Amino acid sequence: MAYRVCFVCTGNICRSPMAESVFHARVEDAGLGHLVEADSAGTDGWHEGEGADPRTVAVLQEHGYATGHTARRFDRSWFTGLDLVIALDSGHLKALRRLAPTPEDARKVRLLRSYDPAAHDGDLDVPDPYYGGRAGFEECLEMVEAASDGLLAAVRQELEGRTT
């Protein structure tokens, strides 16, 4: 059974699809595509059925990442099939932990930047670039890329633990 990761932000059109795309690329580059699945969702359903924000798509494409995406809202029933739920900021972390059906499910929820060794403990949020300009989307991508390597290392360690 695949190791399943879901990235969650507010509307599932900026941060979480960006994180999904970057992490998917890291997984493929590591040769783990057959073992790890990544997807994304939002805590709210405002943009359900829409594609990613055009600025997200542009930044991802310019950096060589895939961009196919349709926004959806996170459903608490998904916890059972997920190994990790990755929140993009502390508000999402709190909302997802409250939504979790069990304490075990709540422990699956982590902040993305907690996997970035250069991130400071007091500032682990990936800021929402939606209301700003292009620079915010570039900054978001930098933060996501910086954390994705650490996340991949943690997932790889979990996978190794399953086989031993």
Is 107 a known active-site residue?
no
User: From CA 37, how far away is CA 27, in angstroms rounded?
Assistant: 9
Instruction: Say which of 15, 26, 55, 113 is annotated catalytic.
Output: 15
Instruction: Say which of 6, 9, 14, 140 is annotated catalytic.
Output: 9
Is 15 a known active-site residue?
yes
User: From CA 39, how far away is CA 69, in angstroms rounded?
Assistant: 9
- Helix residue ranges, H only, 3-133: 15-29, 54-62, 90-99, 103-106
Instruction: Say which of 44, 83, 128, 149 is annotated catalytic.
Output: 128
Q: Give φ, ψ of 50 to 5 degrees.
A: -90, 160
Is 6 a known active-site residue?
no
The residues that are catalytic are 9, 15, 128
